[in-house]
Chains A and B, each alone.
Chain A
């Protein structure tokens, strides 16, 4: 497997081999699915919509619904205005959502479609809504598309009425429904009233009921999105993902914001809990303290198995930074941390982490790819690989255990239901990492070294 990856690293400035990112529209589609009764709409060729739905379906193992403008030759010459007009009419007629969230594609961006104009001219049934965002596929990554779509909802809907609602606005970052549920649980335990956008829990982890519904129970409600403008404060989790919409909401509705790393690991979760504490002025309940204490207990019990183990982490920027943090907290050395999403801030933040924990010889790279990471590993191996499914070829080629964390994971089940955030999430990550390392030790050791008690 992947024997074609040579050890010698050659100069590569343009060719992308085995990417760790995908394009903006799929991120926008994911964000729109986190709004209740919303139809995500892809303004471009049919393949885009089909690929994105397939990609999301493979990760969540749940139906991912979205419609397409179905561009033809004609639309690519004369513009997609009439396609969008027809699409809006058809969608409301037959699928009857409360809101359509349009995102663009590389094609509609390149031919210069004016979405603002199209939507203003569109016939929208009374009480229904159409919003949009621009998601040129040749800028940023799916992470960019995700936060652009969140900002799109705010742009069209959020308003400051002049009366504060006493709530916290929370942008959860690019995470799974399981993480969003955990964030909500922690906020409730802290007695914080909140509005979270988007919220894909109850949509992409909807229960089996025996009937298929296009718009499951979950998702942020439209009144809540409007009310975001009246929040006291915004917390954007995942600094590289959530700062943009937080800043956008501040500019539009004067809601002040702070951003924090994704609450992955001890310190990051502490910071999130403290921020909630400052906001709600409620004391941290025993239930949370207990979870934290359990995590401490686990890290201490198992530290000998993780100390100084080297790890390569790849995936989305905030997730990778969070994973770097928790592995450092477990005494491991995140030798390579790579994201496909472009942006220099990633490297700065990763290097700051290396410095804080005093580890040497670690490399961070933005806009990287798996081919290059594979070459690094060939030249100087690691004990563990952490990332999505696409790392499995490298894991097999180099015989390194892979802990699946991030997006997309298309070859395993259940992961999207389980959190990696909060103390509970950290306990789960500790278990996943320890199992991977200890299973490997059991597999590799000589017969006489096989230990019953570890």
Chain B
């Protein structure tokens, strides 16, 4: 019997235990959160903002009251090799009179004021919750501004209530399409686009370096360390590599439709997934030399990294992992990675995983593992306790929860401290979870007879 005291009746279908997977009903996911639940989920605006924010030379004006701008100011450790404009926060800071009389004039003035200070190539205008309600025609404002200044001013309509974070990803993908779609399709090159890496802690650089090593040229990074002019070259790529599938599959499909670029899904978390992805990229590109070089590179990296990983393995083997992350694809990669370390995943949840994701997850984990969609802290606590998790992998809101329970923690989200992608990322990941699980701090805090999870 599972601990169901902490489960809202409406939530029961969003949680399942692998053992009862025979009824064919599947997990309830991709739905709205229950009113009153302490959900860990964010909103449509947040989804749109996190995808577009890493474009380093774009200007992002948040049209709405100040909060939405304050909470997202420089929050996403996306690194830049050059421009720093995206690390500022721009907002129309709507006040009561704007809500009564409309905010359009203010938005027009805000664009004028930005143009007086800078010379941006593109401005994204995010419409937050109340903009539609007060009836601002931001499309018209954007059109007029484009005509006046000869730059791209793109509306991102992302009122928080209009869906889940995933809806926001779509809005961002539409904005990117609007930015990169040329009048005439360019000649194809041999290069590829990388979709869905946000260059957290410099991960885009690692992946680009790998591709360079195997002889694959990168046309556009979408959106980690991206610049507007590079993004505009994206239609000339021969292949799209989709990394964060949750946010970018929509864009990949659009690009396939409009630019005739096929895509493959890749993951650079863990030795297996990284090697697998590199090989698949090489075959997809179809160049013999690239395939040769990929094989050699993988061999070389594996020989370098696996002995190092084995050193951690004795500390990690047999430990139990709990996962609570944004997307399903990342959860899947993490489960595989824990398997590589000899660890067992006992609980896995996501904020926005799809039905397909959950099916894969179910096949990867043990039969008594707990799977949950859009979980709240009470559920996370109950199941981590029950399953005796040694470490939780999650984001900012999960960190203090894990520590209060006496469970080790690794941030695999915006606050990751080291790159976790690729071979060196796998080493970093092993090192981080080893550091947290085997830190002397557990000895210190266990003194006095307090027993933890």
Task: List residues of chain A with CB under 8 Å of any chain B CB.
Answer: 1-4, 6, 10-19, 21-23, 25-26, 41, 44-55, 57-58, 61-63, 65-73, 75-76, 83-84, 86-91, 93-95, 105-107, 110-111, 136-139, 141, 206, 208-212, 214, 340, 371, 390, 393
Provide the residues of chain A in CB contact with B406, threshold 8 Å. 208, 210
A69 to B399, CA, bound (A): 24
B396 at interface, CB cutoff 8 A: yes
Interface residues of B in 33-58 (CB under 8 A from A): 33-46
Provide the residues of chain B in CB contact with A53, threshold 8 Å. 397
Contact with B93, one of A16, A61, A371 (Cβ below 8 angstroms): A16
Contact with A71, one of B95, B134, B160 (Cβ below 8 angstroms): B160
Interface-centre pick from B65, B72, B128, B445 (highest chain A CB count, 10 A): B65
11 additional contacts (CB under 8 A) given A48-B67, A50-B43, A88-B36: A1-B84, A4-B85, A17-B90, A45-B44, A57-B396, A63-B377, A70-B34, A137-B65, A210-B406, A210-B450, A212-B404
Chain A: which residue is nearest B113 at the CB level? A15
Tell me, rounded to whole Å, the shortest Cβ–Cβ distance linking B150 to chain A: 20
Given A10-B116, A76-B161: A16 and B92 interface contact (C-beta under 8 Å): yes
The answer to whether B130 and A2 touch across the interface, beta carbons within 8 angstroms, is no
The answer to whether A209 and B33 touch across the interface, beta carbons within 8 angstroms, is no
Interface-centre pick from A52, A84, A212 (highest chain B CB count, 10 A): A212
Give the size category of B's interface with A.
35 or more
Contact with B403, one of A13, A17, A208, A393 (Cβ below 8 angstroms): A208
The answer to whether A10 and B37 touch across the interface, beta carbons within 8 angstroms, is no
B66 at interface, CB cutoff 8 A: yes
Given A6-B117, A13-B109, A50-B39: A210 and B451 interface contact (C-beta under 8 Å): yes
Given A14-B106, A76-B161, A106-B65: A211 and B405 interface contact (C-beta under 8 Å): yes
The answer to whether B396 and A138 touch across the interface, beta carbons within 8 angstroms, is no
Provide the residues of chain B in CB contact with A45, threshold 8 Å. 43-44, 129, 159-161
Provide the residues of chain A in CB contact with B452, threshold 8 Å. 210
B64 at interface, CB cutoff 8 A: yes
Tell me, rounded to whole Å, the shortest Cβ–Cβ distance linking B252 to chain A: 25
Contact with B44, one of A15, A47, A61, A136 (Cβ below 8 angstroms): A47
B209 at interface, CB cutoff 8 A: no
Contact with A51, one of B71, B163, B403, B450 (Cβ below 8 angstroms): B71
Provide the residues of chain B in CB contact with A88, threshold 8 Å. 36
Task: List residues of chain B with CB under 8 Å of any chain A CB.
Answer: 6-8, 10, 32-46, 61, 64-74, 84-85, 87-96, 98-99, 106, 109-110, 113-114, 116-118, 128-130, 133-134, 159-164, 377-378, 381, 396-397, 399-401, 403-406, 445, 450-453
Tell me, rounded to whole Å, the shortest Cβ–Cβ distance linking B143 to chain A: 20
Provide the residues of chain B in CB contact with A95, threshold 8 Å. 38, 378
The answer to whether B33 and A63 touch across the interface, beta carbons within 8 angstroms, is no
Interface-centre pick from A55, A71, A87 (highest chain B CB count, 10 A): A71
The answer to whether B46 and A90 touch across the interface, beta carbons within 8 angstroms, is no
Contact with A106, one of B6, B42, B129 (Cβ below 8 angstroms): B129
The answer to whether B35 and A19 touch across the interface, beta carbons within 8 angstroms, is no
Provide the residues of chain B in CB contact with A14, threshold 8 Å. 92-93, 106, 109-110, 113
Contact with A73, one of B41, B162, B400 (Cβ below 8 angstroms): B162
Contact with A50, one of B46, B128, B403 (Cβ below 8 angstroms): B46
A348 to B110, CA, bound (A): 29
A138 to B84, CA, bound (A): 29
Chain A: which residue is nearest B111 at the CB level? A15
Chain A: which residue is nearest B32 at the CB level? A72
Instruction: Name 30 interchain pairs, CB-CB below 8 A, sorted by A.
Output: A16-B91, A19-B66, A19-B91, A45-B43, A45-B44, A46-B41, A47-B68, A48-B160, A49-B39, A50-B42, A51-B68, A57-B399, A58-B396, A61-B399, A63-B377, A68-B38, A69-B36, A70-B33, A72-B32, A88-B36, A89-B36, A90-B35, A91-B36, A94-B378, A110-B134, A138-B96, A138-B130, A139-B96, A206-B404, A210-B451
Given A110-B133, A390-B73: A46 and B33 interface contact (C-beta under 8 Å): yes
Tell me, rounded to whole Å, the shortest Cβ–Cβ distance linking A356 to chain B: 32
A349 to B20, CA, bound (A): 66
Given A16-B92, A90-B8: A209 and B161 interface contact (C-beta under 8 Å): no
A52 to B8, CA, bound (A): 23
Given A89-B36, A209-B450, A210-B451: A18 and B65 interface contact (C-beta under 8 Å): no
A67 to B68, CA, bound (A): 18
Interface-centre pick from B68, B117, B377 (highest chain A CB count, 10 A): B117
Provide the residues of chain A in CB contact with B7, threshold 8 Å. 94
Provide the residues of chain B in CB contact with A62, threshold 8 Å. 400, 404
Contact with A107, one of B160, B164, B397 (Cβ below 8 angstroms): B160
Provide the residues of chain B in CB contact with A84, threshold 8 Å. 35
Provide the residues of chain A in CB contact with B93, threshold 8 Å. 14, 16, 19
The answer to whether B401 and A212 touch across the interface, beta carbons within 8 angstroms, is yes
